[in-house]
Every structure is written in structure tokens, then in C-alpha cells.
Chain A
Amino acid sequence: LRDGGLEGEHAPALTIKDSKPFGFDVFNYVLTQLSNYILAGKSQSRGLVVVAYSRSPSFYVDLLKRGIDIASIHILDCYTDPLGWKNWLQDVRNLDKLYSLIIEQGKGLIGQGKDRFSIAIDSVSEMVRHASISSVAGILSNLRSHDQVSSIFWLLHSDLHEIKFTSVLEYLSSMVASVEPENLSMLEQNFRKGKFHVRFKRRNGRIRVMCEEILVELAGIKFINQRLLPKVQFNLQLSEEERNERAKVVLPFEHQGNGKPIQIYDGRRSLGEGKGQIIYFRDSDDEMPDSDEDPDDDLDI
């Protein structure tokens, strides 16, 4: 989400799906992280529009208090008076109007130019209470394809809807994060720990799945980075020693010559000074051994 979308492509979209009241903490976590990145200038997006349905805007102000900068974050209030009972102007049933309002707010945050902004929707489950499934899907799709939207994410309570609606949203998103408590029984510890599954859809069609444990605490949630390895009878990870040995292995075209120019025999003679050179840039240096990264991932096919 931080890196945003590329020119000419739809913005990455994240669905946070839960079926017990757990996902809201995850939503808040993503929200605070993204806003921190935006404020620090580390993300593609320069502004954030929060569409608040299930909590009041003041809740989000308090949540983002530490880093809030009015100039880059705007909260759209769909909470206080969604149906006009208080005679406010906001009527959430008109999604076209909502779309224009979001875009307007976003543009207002980033000004002219090629900057982009992100959108966070508090609860798509609330949104669909007042509008049809197709119009909600429509507005989300339109938001995703707008050039100035860098990324978008929303929270969905999957137990409140038909499978159809959840599926529609999953198709629309490039990432789906499901949150569930560790155990469905009501034991003391179990409401603090949970599992966080993410499915990433890559541009080239590949799917990547990640699973982590989370711990719910007062200040938010914490990710316990336990790589859940399958239990097999051989060691799937490298020890420190093994890692060092691996680093010492001399690879072809690298680390040879010990500083002296390398003479490469290419089968031909009399071509004058060897003008030929092989310059090898290994770009897999950051990759962990046996990682799932597909080296062809960055191919733009």
C-alpha cells in the first residue's frame, strides 16, 4: 500500500476481512502506519482521505493524534448523520455524490500536479447497508482506477453479508487480509491473539500467501513474526554457520581475480586488447535463500 500504484494501472486495494470484532484493530494499525508513512514522506501518496462510517471523526483524530497534520489527512464524516435524521447535508445513500466528494477532498489535500492520495474506508459493511452491492462495487472500482488515487483499503465484516458480496470485494482487491482470533472458544487468552492471513495478487497473476500471528494490546496490535514452517524431518532454515559458509562461496564471474582484471577467453584471438568485459550485477543479494520470490516477477508481460 505504501508504494502505491504505477502509472496507468489501478491502485492497489486491500480488503481487511474479519468475522468477529477483531479486524477493527488491524484497520487502525494499517491506518496509523500509512499515515505515518505519508507524513514522513516515505510513501507514494501525499494525502489520506478517511471515510468514516462506524466511528466518529474525533475517534480518528485521537487515533492519529501523534502525527496528524491537518494538511494531509481529511476525514469524511459519514457517521454522525448518515440518513439525515439530524438534517445534516450528508446522505450516504447517494454513492455518486460520495465518489465526487472523496475525489474532491483528495485533490484538495494534494493540490495540483502529479501527486496522489490514499483512501481508507472505515467499514464497507456499513456502506452496503445503505446502497446496493453493485453500486458499492462500482464506487470502489472507480476509486481504484482514478489516476490520482495511490492506494485504497477498507474493512469488511464477512459474517454480515452473503458470500457474493465478500467475493465481489475480494475480486476487486489486490490484497485480502483475513483476521481471525486464535481459537473460536471463549477462553481468556484467545481474544488477544489472532491469525493474520494475507493473499497478494501480483501483476503477473501470481498469488503470494503470508501468515502471521498478531497480539492485541492496548496500544494497538503487534505482529509476532513467526514464520509458520511446516513440521518436517529436515531443517528448512540455515544456521548462522551455514549462512557464513554460503556467503564465502565463490560464484562464477564474481570475486575472481582478486582485484586484477579478469582475462576471459572467448575462443577468438587477435581482437586486440580484450575490450570485452563481463560486468555482473547480482540483484538477488537481498533475497533470503529459498525464498518464494520469483526472479521473473518484475517482468512486464
Chain B
Amino acid sequence: MENQYLNLLDRALGLDGPSEPWPLSGRVVLIEDCVETSGSFVLHQLVKRSLSPTSSNVIIFVAFANPFSHYDRILRKLGCNLVTQRDNKRFIFFDMLMLRCPDVDKGKSSEGGLVLLYEKILKTICGLPGDKKDYVTIMMDDISLVEVAANGGSDYVLDFLHYCHSLTSEFDCSLIMLNHEDIYSSMERPTLILQMEYLADILVKAEPLSTGLATDVHGQLTVLNKGTSHRLGSSGNKIHNFHYKVKENSVEYFYPGSRV
């Protein structure tokens, strides 16, 4: 990957090394955001990086939040054509906007719906050609809506996530999930988000600055990367913290105070 296009987020995620083997394969990434600072730009950045011409990744995008056209428009501005990728079978889009799991008849339980979704993902991975099977990235946008689709059954959502986690060990695929932290902040014991934090190998948190709103800085990103044995020479548990500003066609990342 050309170094000049790498930014702080790429480095924090470990994407600054060689693109094969894909540094995120077999790992789980959790993106946490809140109303003031939406984390979806991290997801878009990851889509762009996964679909770069130097890698052979396939993305299975499970979308509960927005339709395909939304992502297409945003990624186009970032320099990535999702329509072409979809035609090339590198970007597989599951439209879950009706908040109903595929092929669920009325009367089937929410658990059943999630089982079916899991099976659909599994079938898709198994249906890929041999060389592509090892480079799958599953993206979920977002988990709070999965909970809605399951009629509040967060236990089922956790079971579903557990099974998706098993896919990472079975097929070496990566799992990237987005969830909103502030939804759970009023709960005494926010089990779902805590369990997700335990599941995740990399935690990306988008928060507002402690000093409040600003025009030049939109928020701060904290990336906690629990090292694995694949990365030689680095110690476990690295934390990165930096600020970001979302612009029309890109996002700028910089260390606090380093911008003129």
C-alpha cells in the first residue's frame, strides 16, 4: 500500500503493513460511537481499504441502517465505486432495511430469523470461489438495529454474534461491527455492549472532545488494538488516540495540537 495515502487510522488498525495477508483477517473490530460523533466514517474507510486494488478482499455488508445508494454515494466521494465492486462480486450487500431477517414468515421467532441470517452469511462464504474464501470481511451496520429486528432479544443478538465470531476462526474472515454506546449508557448493566467489547480484538471509539464542540475538530478517536501473535515485534494492547475532522470528500486525522 502506498505510504502517502495511509493515515493515522490505518496505522492504528494495523493496516500499514503489507496488504497480504490482510492484517484484520480472523479479527473482530468493534466501532463504538454516539449521537454527537458518528462512527460510520470509520466503517466507510474500512470499506475503501478492503476494496483497494492491491487486496483481494470480499465484503459481505449486512445493512440495517441505510440502503445501498447511501453507501454508494459516500464511497464514490472517497474514490471507490461500489456498483462496479458489486458486479465484480467483491461487495455483497444484504439489504436488511425492512428490519426483517430474510425469508422469515410471520410467526417465526426472532431467534429463527437470526439463525437464517447466519446461515445466509455462511452459505455466501461457502459459495465463494476458492481463492476468495480466505479474504472475507463481514460488516454490520449496525448492531442496535439488529436488536430491533430481534424485537429486543439481545440474548439472540449475542448468540448471533457468537456464531459470527466462530466464522472468524473457521474461515479466517474479519468481523466489523458498529454500535452506539450512548443507547446503553442509561442501563445499569449494559450487557450487550460489554459482551461485544469482550468479543472484539480491536475497539475503535468515536467520542466528542472533552472541551466540547469545535469547528476544526469534530471529535476524537481512540483505538485499542489487542495484539496478536501474527504481528511480530509488537507488544499486546496498543492504544492510539487522535482527533479527526470529517470533510466533504475525506476525513482528516491528526494528533491533537498538530494542526496549524
Contact = CB atoms under 8 A, between A and B. Distances in A.
Interface of A: 21, 25, 54-56, 58-59, 62, 79-83, 85-86, 129, 157, 159-162, 186-188, 190-192, 216-218
Nearest to B119: A85
Nearest to A21: B198
A85 B237 CA distance: 33
Given A21-B197, A83-B159, A85-B115, A188 B239 contact: yes
Contact of B226 (A21, A58, A157, A188): A21
A85 B163 contact: yes
Contacts of A157: 194, 198
B255 to A, nearest CB: 12
A129 B239 CA distance: 30
Interface in B138-180: 155, 158-159, 162-163, 166, 169-170
Contacts of B195: 160
A159 B166 contact: no
Contact of A218 (B159, B198, B235): B235
Contacts of A55: 169
B234 A218 contact: yes
Interface of B: 115, 118-119, 155, 158-159, 162-163, 166, 169-170, 189, 191, 194-195, 197-199, 222, 224, 226-227, 229, 231, 234-237, 239, 241
B189 A159 contact: yes
Contacts of A191: 224, 237, 239
A218 to B, nearest CB: 5
A129 to B, nearest CB: 7
Given A161-B189, A186-B224, A192-B235, 18 more contacts: A25-B236, A54-B198, A54-B199, A55-B169, A56-B166, A56-B169, A85-B115, A85-B159, A157-B194, A159-B194, A160-B198, A162-B189, A186-B222, A188-B241, A191-B237, A216-B236, A218-B227, A218-B234
Contacts of A186: 222, 224, 239, 241
29 contacts: A21-B226, A25-B236, A56-B169, A56-B170, A58-B169, A59-B169, A79-B166, A79-B169, A80-B170, A85-B119, A86-B163, A129-B155, A157-B194, A157-B198, A160-B194, A160-B198, A187-B239, A188-B239, A188-B241, A190-B239, A191-B237, A192-B237, A216-B235, A217-B235, A217-B236, A218-B227, A218-B229, A218-B235, A218-B236
Contacts of B155: 129
A82 B156 CA distance: 12
A223 to B, nearest CB: 15
A291 to B, nearest CB: 34
Centre residue among B198, B199, B239 by max chain A CB count within 10 A = B198
Contacts, number: 65
A116 B90 CA distance: 53
Given A21-B197, A159-B189, A216 B169 contact: no
A148 to B, nearest CB: 31
B158 A85 contact: no
A184 to B, nearest CB: 13
Contacts of B229: 62, 218
Centre residue among B155, B166, B227 by max chain A CB count within 10 A = B166
Q: Which 10 A-B pairs have the closest CB atoms?
A: A56-B169, A191-B237, A218-B235, A217-B235, A216-B236, A216-B237, A85-B115, A218-B236, A188-B239, A192-B237
Contacts of B235: 192, 216-218
B189 A80 contact: no
A25 B235 CA distance: 13
Contacts of B198: 21, 54, 157, 160
A19 to B, nearest CB: 9
Given A21-B226, A129-B158, A160 B191 contact: yes
B256 to A, nearest CB: 13
A253 B188 CA distance: 65
A166 B218 CA distance: 40
